[in-house]
């Protein structure tokens, strides 16, 4: 999976998000396992580090497209609630 071929980009702007901002530290970082992080570091040649908010922000729309369409993480797609949390983090401006 390369940066240019990460799949469909889905627009999270249509999500109904909570009034309390979704944060990286509390809400988003726990969604990614160490296996997810290692896999994405490998397939992107070290460009996407899912343990790092800034790195994930750069790739956020592509990652969102993959998780929203059930392509990621491989073998165990996220629940809709997890997808929405990630999308609301994007919609909320990538709060720390």
Q: What is the pLDDT of residue 52?
A: 98
Listed residue (58, 43, 56) closest to 85, CA to CA = 56
Between CA 42 and CA 24 the distance in angstroms is: 22
Distances (CA, A) of 16 to 8, 13, 62, 72: 21, 8, 20, 22
Cα 85–chain centre separation: 9
Q: What is the pLDDT of residue 4?
A: 41
Q: What is the pLDDT of residue 13?
A: 84
What average pLDDT does range 6-17 have in this prediction? 72
**Please, are residues 7 and 73 in contact by the beta-carbon 8 Å criterion?**
no
What average pLDDT does range 16-23 have in this prediction? 93
Per-residue pLDDT reduced to its tens digit, 66-95: 999 999 998 899 999 999 999 999 999 999
Q: What is the pLDDT of residue 1?
A: 40
């Amino acid at each position: 999976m390369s940066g240019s071929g990460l799949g469909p980009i889905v627009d999270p702007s249509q999500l109904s998000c909570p009034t309390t901002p979704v944060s990286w530290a509390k809400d988003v970082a726990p969604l990614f396992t160490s296996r997810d992080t290692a896999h994405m570091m490998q397939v992107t040649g070290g460009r996407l580090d899912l343990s790092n908010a800034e790195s994930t922000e750069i790739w956020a729309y592509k990652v969102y497209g993959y998780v929203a369409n059930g392509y990621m993480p491989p073998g165990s797609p996220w629940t809709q609630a997890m997808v929405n949390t990630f999308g609301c983090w994007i919609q909320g401006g990538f709060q720390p």
